[in-house]
């Protein structure tokens, strides 16, 4: 019996890694069209991090999981729960739309409209979908670099089920999780709770200075009810409560600052009604995202308490007509965005604006030349802002599956993306300046064969939204911000062994004034090799290399990290993981002046019932 369990787990693990491109191309994703469809329907590359990879690599944060993906550079201002920034194909976090089950997390109150990535835990995540380039034509503003869609687990198994998890790690870190679900033929429910607590280490270097701790309590709930065979109502809710200490930029204590902290709360709701009728799929959805945070710090100027509140309400109606060789999708959307900021007891800054949008997507396949198959994708979106100029986004995609060489695919995508100011930028615009959405014109072109892929990308951002530090306000900067580069990836399995590697080279990352954009790594290399043993053990080694990366003239790159992972599937419903991260205790920084952990150990247990 034990032998059968072990072999079954081995087979499932190998399948879940899906290291063959052909095996993974039929995965169901939602990021390419807002409605579930096969990944192969998109002409763009969509990377997926699944729950098994998160588990077997011991990823604790979203940033950690994304840092091993092609084209993504991650930086943090210290340790657990500190500000995390992403750079996708050389473009910043403010241009990456982050979704949780389709609910936008980009905050109206952050300085550049980014999501608070540092507070997103991965305990209940089923998969993370990553779409690079051409996101605005479907998802609107904030998606000019791409989209990261975090999909949480659903209640799928009939009857009552659950799981518990415990973990302990270096820096006095503990985490506990509990998941419960119930499903019958008509309805289902899922509840996931997690608690994370860490004494941590100093946010500013040196790492041995006064520790800056972090606490996080998260809850996810889902309910669904099948009204009829092809009709379902779904309600989802996510709650995040976090408390993070940090070292203030103007504190007289420097790395020993023991007063600066952020107290935040995030609540996200989504109510959706899905109906399938013949070739038609419809979804009516309401999404609400609310974020509150209080940021306290001290300096020689006195105490500072800055309060922020932001809400986003989104209504959408999506429809898709599917036929034998393609699909036609379209949607209407209405979004209301509000932001509030108050410094101590001074008069608050408040801004709100509305956006209405229409979009359409056409995907079609037809017989190509030399016995192959050609696929085209065209999408168009128009955003109607009441506070800014209206904006148009589009994408034209081409993919050809060659008949002469089975498994060989060539693809190209041309797109225009837009980014509108968020409420914080709107409220803090330079006096006398009228902000407007900026535009990104770009393309990518590449090849895929089996587990190998390579592509070249280029983006030019016209009138980029930036903060003018000389005059203290947001502006649309003159000129263009430019990024270009090459991505290459390889995934393959060899029996019970696997290898995964990716390489990114930025050939251009230029600011409007001609200087290099800061905090972008010129090159990134990730390698993951591993083996599944008949005993139910998985052993893997990860390497993460960051090339030249400058910030204010300081080098924050040119280092290599190694992580060692051990997972033992003791039984079909019980497993143990041991993870040694930064195996050789490398000293490095991702953001100049901020500390990173030395060698750490993470041990976790999970029991299903």
State the residue for tokens 């990173």. 596
SS3 12: helix
pTM: 0.92
Tell me the DSSP string of 32-49.
TTSS-EEGGG-SS-EEEE
Percent of the chain with pLDDT over 70: 96
User: For the purposes of burial, counting CB atoms within 10 Å of the CB of 461, is it exposed (0-12), middle (13-18) or buried (19 or more)?
Assistant: buried
Question: Please, what is the end-to-end C-alpha distance for the chain in angstroms?
Answer: 18
pLDDT in tens, 198-228: 999 999 999 999 999 999 999 999 999 999 8
Instruction: Decide if pLDDT at 323 tops 50.
Output: yes
Cα–Cα distance for residue pair 44/412, rounded to 1 Å: 8
Kindly report the CATH number that applies to the domain delimited by 2-608: 2.40.170.20
Whether residue 394 contacts residue 380, with contact meaning beta carbons closer than 8 Å, is answered with: yes
- Residue 49 pLDDT: 95
Sorted by where each begins, the domain ranges of the chain are 2-608
pLDDT in tens, 435-453: 999 999 999 999 999 899 9
pLDDT in tens, 399-423: 999 988 989 999 999 999 999 999 9
Q: Which helix (H) or strand (E) holds 494?
A: strand 480-494
Please, which pLDDT band fits residue 107 given cuts at 50, 70 and 90? confident
Cα–Cα distance for residue pair 290/492, rounded to 1 Å: 42
- Residue 8 pLDDT: 35
- Residue 11 pLDDT: 34
- Residue 4 pLDDT: 36
Q: For the chain, give the mean pLDDT.
A: 92
Q: What is the mean pLDDT of residues 82-89?
A: 95
- CB under 8 Å to 367, separation ≥6 — which residues? 373, 374
In 103-172 the beta strands, taken as DSSP E runs, fall at: 103-104, 125-132, 146-152, 159-169
Q: What is the mean pLDDT of residues 421-437?
A: 92
- Residue 322 pLDDT: 96
Instruction: Decide if pLDDT at 80 tops 60.
Output: yes
Q: What are the Cα distances from residue 26, in Å, to 45, 185, 202, 496? A: 13, 26, 45, 22
- Residue 5 pLDDT: 35
- Residue 26 pLDDT: 55
Q: What is the mean pLDDT of residues 459-483?
A: 94
Q: What is the mean pLDDT of residues 86-97?
A: 94
Instruction: Decide if pLDDT at 462 tops 80.
Output: yes
Cα–Cα distance for residue pair 340/7, rounded to 1 Å: 56
Instruction: Decide if pLDDT at 20 tops 60.
Output: no
Cα–Cα distance for residue pair 222/79, rounded to 1 Å: 31
- Residue 13 pLDDT: 36
- Residue 40 pLDDT: 85
Cα–Cα distance for residue pair 593/204, rounded to 1 Å: 6
Instruction: Decide if pLDDT at 100 tops 50.
Output: yes
- Residue 22 pLDDT: 41
As given in the structure block, the two tokens for residue 575 are: 């497993």
- Residue 17 pLDDT: 36
Instruction: Decide if pLDDT at 155 tops 90.
Output: no
- Residue 429 pLDDT: 93
Q: What is the mean pLDDT of residues 288-306?
A: 95
- Residue 45 pLDDT: 84
pLDDT in tens, 374-398: 999 999 999 999 999 999 999 999 9
- Residue 14 pLDDT: 35
- Residue 102 pLDDT: 84
Cα–Cα distance for residue pair 537/542, rounded to 1 Å: 17
- Residue 355 pLDDT: 96
Q: What is the 3-state secondary structure (H, E, C) of 552-590?
A: CCEECCCEEEEEEEEEEEEECCEEEEEEEECCCCCCCCC
Q: What is the mean pLDDT of residues 113-129?
A: 90
DSSP 517: P
């Amino acid at each position: 019996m034990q032998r059968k369990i072990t072999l079954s787990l081995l087979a499932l693990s190998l399948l879940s890694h899906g290291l063959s491109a052909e095996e993974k191309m039929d995965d169901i994703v939602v990021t390419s069209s807002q409605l579930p469809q096969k990944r192969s329907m998109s002409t763009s590359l969509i990377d997926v991090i699944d729950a098994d990879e998160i588990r077997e690599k011991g990823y604790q944060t979203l940033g950690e999981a994304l840092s091993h993906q092609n084209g993504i550079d991650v930086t943090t201002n210290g340790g657990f729960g500190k500000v995390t920034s992403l750079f996708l194909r050389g473009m910043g976090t403010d241009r990456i739309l982050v979704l949780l089950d389709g609910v936008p997390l980009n905050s109206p109150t952050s300085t550049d409209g980014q999501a608070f990535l540092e507070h997103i835990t991965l305990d209940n995540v089923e998969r993370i979908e990553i779409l690079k380039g051409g996101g605005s034509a479907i998802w609107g503003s904030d998606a000019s670099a791409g989209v990261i869609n975090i999909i949480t687990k659903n209640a799928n198994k009939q009857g009552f089920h659950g799981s518990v998890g415990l973990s302990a790690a270096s820096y006095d870190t503990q985490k506990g999780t509990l998941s419960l679900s119930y499903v019958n033929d008509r309805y289902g429910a899922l509840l996931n709770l997690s608690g994370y607590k860490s004494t941590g280490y100093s946010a500013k270097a040196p790492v041995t200075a006064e520790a800056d701790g972090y606490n996080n309590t998260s809850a996810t709930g889902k309910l669904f009810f099948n009204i009829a065979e092809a009709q379902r109502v779904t309600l989802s809710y996510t709650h995040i409560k976090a408390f993070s200490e940090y070292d203030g930029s103007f504190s007289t204590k420097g790395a020993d600052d023991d007063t600066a902290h952020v107290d935040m709360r995030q609540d996200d709701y989504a109510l959706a009604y899905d109906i399938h009728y013949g070739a038609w799929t419809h979804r009516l959805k309401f999404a609400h995202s609310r974020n509150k945070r209080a940021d306290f710090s001290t300096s020689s100027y006195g105490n500072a308490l800055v309060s922020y509140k932001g809400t986003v309400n989104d209504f959408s109606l999506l429809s898709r007509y599917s036929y034998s060789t393609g699909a036609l999708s379209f949607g209407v959307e209405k979004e209301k965005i509000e932001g509030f900021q108050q410094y101590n007891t001074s008069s608050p800054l408040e801004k709100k604006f509305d956006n209405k949008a229409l979009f359409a997507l056409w995907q079609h396949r037809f017989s190509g030349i030399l016995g192959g198959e050609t696929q085209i994708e065209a999408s168009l979106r128009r955003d109607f802002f009441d506070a800014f100029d209206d904006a148009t986004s589009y994408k034209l995609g081409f993919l050809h599956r060659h008949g002469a060489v089975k498994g060989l695919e060539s693809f190209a995508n041309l797109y225009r993306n837009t980014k509108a100011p968020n409420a914080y930028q709107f409220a803090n615009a330079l006096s006398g300046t009228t902000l407007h959405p900026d535009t990104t014109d770009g393309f990518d072109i590449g090849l895929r064969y089996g587990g190998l892929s390579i592509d070249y990308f280029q983006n030019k951002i016209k009138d980029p939204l930036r903060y003018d530090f000389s005059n203290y306000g947001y502006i649309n900067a003159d000129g263009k911000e430019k990024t270009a580069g090459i991505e290459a990836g390889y995934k393959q399995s060899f029996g019970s062994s696997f290898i995964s590697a990716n390489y990114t080279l930025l050939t251009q990352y230029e600011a409007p004034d001609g200087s290099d954009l800061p905090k972008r790594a010129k090159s990134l290399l990730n390698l993951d090799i591993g083996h599944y043993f008949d005993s139910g053990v998985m052993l893997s080694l990860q390497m993460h290399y960051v090339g030249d990366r400058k910030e204010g003239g300081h080098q924050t790159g040119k280092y290599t990290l190694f992580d060692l992972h051990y997972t033992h599937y003791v039984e079909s419903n019980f497993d143990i993981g041991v993870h040694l991260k930064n195996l050789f205790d490398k000293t490095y920084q991702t953001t100049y002046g901020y500390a990173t952990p030395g060698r750490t150990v993470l041990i976790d247990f999970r029991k299903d019932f």
